[in-house]
Amino acid sequence: MGLFSLVTGWPGPSGFGSASTAEQVTDGVDAAHLTAIITGGASGIGAETARVFALRGAHVIIAARNMEAANNVKELLVKSNPKAHVDVLQLDLSSLKSVRAFADKFISMNLPLNILINNAGVMFCPYQLSEDGIEMQFATNHLGHFSLTNLLLEKMKETSRSTGIEGRIVNLSSIAHLHTYEEGILFDKLNDRRGYSDKKAYGQSKLANILHANELSRRLKEEGANITANSVHPGLIMTNLMRHSFLLMRILKVFTCIFWKNVPQGAATTCYVALHPTLKGVTGKYFLDCNEEKPSALAREETLAKKLWDFSENLVKSAK
């Protein structure tokens, strides 16, 4: 898309650009036949994604750690749209036990599952380990979503087979995937405190989001499953995600204000990739400003994606 398009909002080949909103990119879409899970739907672009999905008629499951905030979002959505069909389930992505409990609860509800939006995340955390003993940004942003996706994948396959409707999985990554450790993923030093960088650890987790979507896409295509998997960069948006670096980001925004989006614009690429009919069959791609973009060379490495998949599987197994 280029710097000019980013700054001006000039639309790309899709007809949309950085200035497009989630409502605009889903205009005319009827999602009344769809059920979607949105992680981190209690605030920021997750809440806006939930609002627009509900507006288009989808049955929305907000998966969130903060149940009070999630229920407040549900109340607001129903108040503004009495036809909104919204449920709330608790999910702490930093805990694999919580991920399993969420998946069990959802499956017990005997609902279809058409769309999974892996949106939740943490950013620039001080060094800490999850309850499973894994570096927190990697645990929350990647491993929790990796486990959740695998636990729900059979339900998505069943839904696509029985309905004939394409399933879609969207991983929220970031342009920050460009700024990671030299090796890309620190497989042997994931929990190394001495070499920890909150910025590079975040970039590592966002690189993992793209690699996960790419490898998942490859496996689903090989299997012939009617499900796509893609990753997106939502853009620079001031949300609760930046709570660990709020002052720094406020200062940065003063000097880079032309690059920042509001929340409706930030949710646009997610909603576009998840709902737009022109993306039927499009999989294993990375999107920015509602248009396909080329991620970093590391993000395109098939061997790295396969290695991350095996590494993640082993981490999940060891935590049981």
Which residues are identified as catalytic? Answer: 196
User: What's 298's DSSP letter?
Assistant: G
Number of neighbours of residue 2 by Cβ within 10 angstroms? 9
**Residue 73 identity (one-letter amino acid):** V
The string of DSSP codes covering 156-178 is HHHHHHHH-PPEEEEEE--GGGG
Question: Could you tell me how far CA 254 lies from the centroid of its own chain?
Answer: 27
Determine phi and psi for 95, rounding to 5 degrees.
Answer: -120, 115
In order, the DSSP letters of 217-244 are HHHHHHHT-SEEEEEEE--B--SGGGGG
CA-nearest of 176, 31, 158, 152 to 101 is 152
> 166 is written with which tokens?
């394409």
